[in-house]
Amino acid sequence: MRILATVSNMRSLAVVVDLRTREVGHIPVRPGFFDPTITERATCRPFGITWSPSELFIVNNRQLLAFGHDLAFSRAVPVRLQVNTHQLAYDAGRAWTVSPWTNSLIGVGADDTIEFDLAAQTVRPYVERDASSADDRWHYNSLLWHGDRLFVAAHAFGPASFINVYDRATLRLVDVHPNAGHSIHGLARRDGELFWISTKTKEIRSDQGRRLRLPRAGFARGFAMTDDHFVVGVSVPSPRDKRHRGDSWIQVIDHRDGRLVEEVPLPGTGNLNDLRLLDSPDHAHPVPPFWP
């Protein structure tokens, strides 16, 4: 299993972890990945990862960066997104990113970019603009297109985290999972059961009442799920302005009993932001693997 994880040290955009060999490769940060106009967040902040059949995408604040199958940088998509963009997921020809400061999903396609207002349940052409942290109402951070549903997780700044469920075809809200945990991140669905990380309570939870304690205490963000295991990114907790420092880990956890199967240390990466499985089916990212 090979994992791509975005990191915060501002030297590497992401790391590639081979669980079999335990080798770690790096996608380097380029000068053009920094945005000196950003003041409320790190000037280089890679986060969400997704891919089409031909390109892999990493969102970095206002940038959507594209890479080839060799993970070499190919281009910056000509659209200006938002500061503090979070998770990415590819669906129906678009790379969709969660934009907490606009309380929306932004869908970047080959010919146009659209925006889905998560509260108003409306779709409109995306208008480039500058939102700020003051505009962030619920801190939406994660999304999952699965079957006939779209799931969107809201961190909600603490213990009142929730998950919205939308009809995939109409984008109408059909359900809400309240009281989902404290500062939740990540979504995966397998056999009708929805899973996520409750970061502050250090658990993996499900909508069927499962609660698995994470084996290592830390800041958990980055979530994947195979048929047998959860894959979780964990970082040393640190204040926002220190998240470019410190270490992180990737944990492989048995989804039946929460047993730690494997752990790979990633020293010096700073906070791990998100992760995807490059060569394995993933219930958190139900698109064909980028590397067959």
pLDDT one-digit tens code per residue, 51-79: 999 999 999 999 999 999 999 999 999 99
Contact indicator for 265, 39 with CB cutoff of 8 Å? no
As a residue count, the chain comes to 292
Closest CA to 247 of 225, 264, 227: 264
Q: What is the pLDDT of residue 117?
A: 99
240 pLDDT more than 90: no
Which H, E and C letters describe 127-142, residue by residue?
A: CCCCCCHHHCCCCEEE
Tell me what percent of the residues of the chain surpass a pLDDT of 90.
Answer: 96
The pLDDT value given to residue 115: 99
156/199 Cα distance (integer angstroms): 12
Helix (H, G, I), strand (E, B) or coil at 18: strand
Residue of 197, 236, 198 whose CA lies nearest to 216? 236
Burial class of residue 267 in the structure, from the number of CB atoms within 10 Å of its CB (0-12 exposed, 13-18 middle, 19+ buried): exposed
CATH topology of domain 2-277: Methylamine Dehydrogenase; Chain H (2.130.10)
* Residue 145 in this model has a pLDDT that exceeds 90: yes
Contacts of 61 (CB under 8 A, 6+ apart): 35, 38, 41, 43, 44, 45, 81, 82, 83, 84, 85
Q: Which residue has the tokens 């208008």?
A: 127
- Return phi, psi of residue 102, to 5°: -105, 0
User: Which helix (H) or strand (E) is 57 found in, with range?
Assistant: strand 56-60
Structure tokens at 37: 């106009």
Residue 216 banded pLDDT, cuts 50, 70, 90: confident
Q: Cα dist. 189→108, 151, 279 in Å?
A: 24, 10, 18
Six-digit token string for 243? 């998240």
Angle at 99 between CA 265 and CA 117, to 5 degrees: 145
Which residues are registered as beta bridge partners of 264? Answer: 250
Q: How far apart are CA 205 and CA 191, in angstroms?
A: 15
Radius of gyration of the chain (CA): 17
Average pLDDT (237-244) is 90
**Gap between the Cα atoms of 117 and 248, Å rounded:** 33
Check if the beta carbon of residue 222 is closer than 8 Å to that of residue 269.
no
Helix (H, G, I), strand (E, B) or coil at 7: strand
Q: Which tokens belong to 241?
A: 């302005």
Distance of CA 63 to the CA centre of its chain: 15
CA-to-CA dists, residue 244 to 34, 167, 182, 257, angstroms: 14, 38, 23, 33
pLDDT digits (tens, 9 = 90+) for 16-38: 999 999 999 999 999 999 999 99
Tell me what the pLDDT averaged over the chain comes to. 97
What's at 149, amino acid-wise?
R
Work out the pLDDT band at 12, boundaries 50, 70, 90.
very high
Distance of CA 194 to the CA centre of its chain: 16
